[in-house]
Amino acid sequence: MEVLGVQLVNALSYGMLLFIITSGLSLVFGILGVLNLAHGSLYMLGAYIAYSLTMKYVPVFWLAILIASVIVALLALVVEVGLLRPTYHLGHLSQVLLTFGLAYVFHDVAKVLWGTQVLSLTLPIELSGSVQVFGQTFPIYRLLVIGIGLFVGAFLWFLQEKTRFGAIIRAGLVDKEMVSGLGINIKLVFTSVFLIGGLLAGFGGGIAAPILGIYPGMEFQTLILALVVLVIGGLGSFLGTFIASLLVGLLETFSKYFLPEVSLFIIFVFMAVVLVTKPNGLLGKKVG
């Protein structure tokens, strides 16, 4: 039971990491209609930049992660304004090819700047220990990640459901032309959404680094799972993304513990079952 309890905490913390990363991807895809295949690269850069900051410039752990998240968000801003915006009228294929190419560019840049060795972001002493809960020992940092994920989820829900900006986002998801016709600068909304998506990706990379490590190719591995979460949860639903992230986190953690050889296969089978029974995802909005 102690092992199962530890694995459950590991699964929940991993699921929360997936939610933080995928919520940005879901936001960008749902509002802009852009499947940003470089989203995993933004996650990777968040981890690498946070590592460099803690090693040389900013010894304070959380400050380094926040600065790294802002830097990644600004990079996402440059990508959206300078590269993606001119392709909005060209259709999805050009955007997918562009972001897929960017992912490989970022991959090679990361290898040049940080090398190919596996790196680790060291936790501060106060977060590296364990705590007793109901007689079982759990890592403090993983419990904290669960709390952060819940806070991010609550904040995004409030932003989407209870603010004017959230109302514009929901309206833009349904009818971009109508929103623009009401005098709202839809380009600025799109840019803001992409900026938030980049911020979430960078933040996810920073807080995931002490748990998952930093290594070449981490962006593609995470992107695959993020796309799985996006498909299972359904387009345009933060609640769906949240539920799907927890489910995938549970499946990934427990399948790797009990059946490591077929863990990825189990996740894709689950995704296939969801798509057969609910083609729009668990809570996705019907398209068309």
pLDDT digits (tens, 9 = 90+) for 127-151: 888 887 766 778 899 999 999 999 9
Does 263 score more than 90 pLDDT?
A: no
Whether 288 shows a pLDDT value over 70: the answer reads no
Q: How confident is the model at residue 173 (pLDDT cuts 50, 70, 90)?
A: low
Tell me the average pLDDT across 102-116. Answer: 93
How far apart CA 13 and CA 153 sit, in angstroms, is 13
Distance of CA 10 to the CA centre of its chain: 17
The two structure tokens encoding residue 199? 């911020």
**Which token pair is 26?**
């879901």
- Supply the DSSP symbol for 285: P
- Closest listed residue to residue 116, CA positions, set 59, 40, 67, 48: 48
CB 205 within 8 A of CB 248: no
Q: Using CA atoms, how far apart are residues 286 and 223, in angstroms rounded to an integer?
A: 24
Secondary structure of residue 138 in the 3-state scheme: strand
Which one is predicted more confidently, 245 or 27?
245
Buried b (16+ CB within 10 A) or exposed e, 81-90: eeebeebbee
Whether 217 shows a pLDDT value over 50: the answer reads yes
Which sign, positive or negative, has the C-alpha torsion 194, 196, 198, 200? negative
Q: What is the pLDDT of residues 91-101, one digit of tens each?
A: 778 888 999 99
Q: What is the DSSP letter of 87?
A: G
Q: How many CB atoms lie within 10 A of CB 229?
A: 30
Beta carbons of 183 and 41 less than 8 angstroms apart: no
**How much is the pTM?**
0.90
Instruction: Give the sign of the dihedral formed by CA 252, CA 257, CA 261, CA 262.
Output: negative
For residues 110 and 44, the answer to whether their CB atoms sit within 8 Å is yes
Q: What pLDDT, on the 0 to 100 scale, is given for residue 67? A: 96
3-state secondary structure of 136: strand
Terminal CA-to-CA distance of the chain, rounded, Å? 47
Instruction: Read off the tokens for 86.
Output: 């001119």
**Which residues lie across from 131 on neighbouring strands?**
138
Single-letter residue type at 10: N
Q: What is the pLDDT of residues 47-78, one digit of tens each?
A: 999 999 998 888 889 999 999 999 999 999 99
Residue range 264-280: mean pLDDT, rounded? 90
With tokens 């090398």, the residue in question is: 115
Paired tokens of 229? 């979460």
Q: How high does pLDDT run on average in the chain?
A: 86
